[in-house]
Amino acid sequence: MSTTTIPSATGTNTQPRSTSTKATTCVGPQKSQPAAAKLQPKEHGAYAILGIPLATSLVIADVSIPGCLVVLASIAGFVAHEPLLVAAGHRGQRSQRSTPAAKGRLAALLAITFGCGLTALALGSTEVRIALLGCAALATSCLALGLAGRHRTLVGQLWGVVTLSAACVPILLAGGITPVQTLAIWTAWLIGFAATTLAVRGVIAAQKRRGKTIYWSAILALILLTGVLTATGDAVAIATLPMLIMSCHLLIKPPPARHLKRVGWTLVVGTIATAGWMFAIV
């Protein structure tokens, strides 16, 4: 601090004036931390592909300890898919760095999956054990597709349908459903979900001005397969009719892209109708 004299018209004013210099601190813009990645599965259609057959199987078959353990293992394995992709860096390096919790959640979910799966394997019959080993092989191959970045391709999505719907097989077997009837139920789910998956991809192709021939051809083949199975005595195959009708409707009149969420819920309603039909038949 210093003092200065202020000159005036009559002379010198000796009254001191204080001057001081205040330091100013310049604070630059702070970099915000990137938000943690969401660890819920992003493929929303997969919720129905896994959940509705699981619920239907628990209603159709008798409740059993191995069956309930398979349900827990299937759900935990499904939910572990997204943390695996984040922890492995397949959702981007930023998501990997900003979401350290992905590794912990992945470890916990895998522990539940293996713990419930191995317990069901120990408690189940020979048929249930064979089915569980098949489900484990399918799940491993599906995870490999995801890590290879192929899970969004047509083959990857159809293989996901096979893998997710297969969880109903050991549940049905553990609940007293015969192997022949179990295979018929799983086949019906495969036909229905394959049709809806193809229809959704056809809608997306229509929005991008691409051809829908491959999707129409595949769905017509599924309809033909359903007719053949029904004619040869498979009473469950006809239950896929609601899903097949909705799939054809989507290809005939594809909705705008902004309505895809509504399309998904409509397909869920059709899937529930198929589940109810199965329950009535079985």
Let me know if residue 7 belongs to a domain. no
Among 14, 132, 15, smallest CA distance to 66 is for 132
Whether residue 154 is found in the same domain as residue 249: no
Among 99, 78, 104, 79, smallest CA distance to 89 is for 99
Whether residue 194 is found in the same domain as residue 146: no
- What residues of the chain score a pLDDT lower than 70? 1-34, 37, 90, 96-97
Q: Which tokens hold the place of 48?
A: 């129905």
Which of 133, 153, 175 is at the close of a domain? 175
Whether residue 184 is found in the same domain as residue 274: yes
Let me know if residue 163 belongs to a domain. yes
Q: Which tokens hold the place of 200?
A: 């959704």
Let me know if residue 212 belongs to a domain. yes
Whether residue 125 is found in the same domain as residue 203: no
Which of 175, 209, 241 is at the close of a domain? 175
Let me know if residue 25 belongs to a domain. no
Whether residue 138 is found in the same domain as residue 230: no
Among 244, 159, 263, smallest CA distance to 204 is for 263
User: What local confidence, expressed as pLDDT, does residue 96 receive?
Assistant: 66
Let me know if residue 27 belongs to a domain. no
Whether residue 83 is found in the same domain as residue 153: yes
Let me know if residue 28 belongs to a domain. no
| Phi and psi torsions of 16, nearest 5° | -70, 150
Whether residue 169 is found in the same domain as residue 41: yes
User: What local confidence, expressed as pLDDT, does residue 261 receive?
Assistant: 79
Q: What is the pTM of this model?
A: 0.82
Split into its structural domains, the chain has a count of: 2
CA distances from 5 to 17, 170, 281 (A): 7, 98, 106
Whether residue 206 is found in the same domain as residue 85: no
Whether residue 96 is found in the same domain as residue 107: yes
User: What local confidence, expressed as pLDDT, does residue 136 receive?
Assistant: 95
Whether residue 44 is found in the same domain as residue 129: yes
Q: Which domain holds residue 161?
A: 37-175
Whether residue 42 is found in the same domain as residue 171: yes
- What sections of the chain are H helices per DSSP? 45-60, 65-79, 81-87, 93-98, 101-123, 126-147, 154-165, 168-174, 179-207, 213-231, 241-252, 260-281
Whether residue 161 is found in the same domain as residue 60: yes
Q: Is 3 helix (H, G, I), strand (E, B) or coil?
A: strand
Which of 153, 175, 197 is at the close of a domain? 175
- Look at the block and give the residue holding tokens 């159809």: 158
Helices 179-207 & 260-281, crossing angle to 10 degrees?
Answer: 160
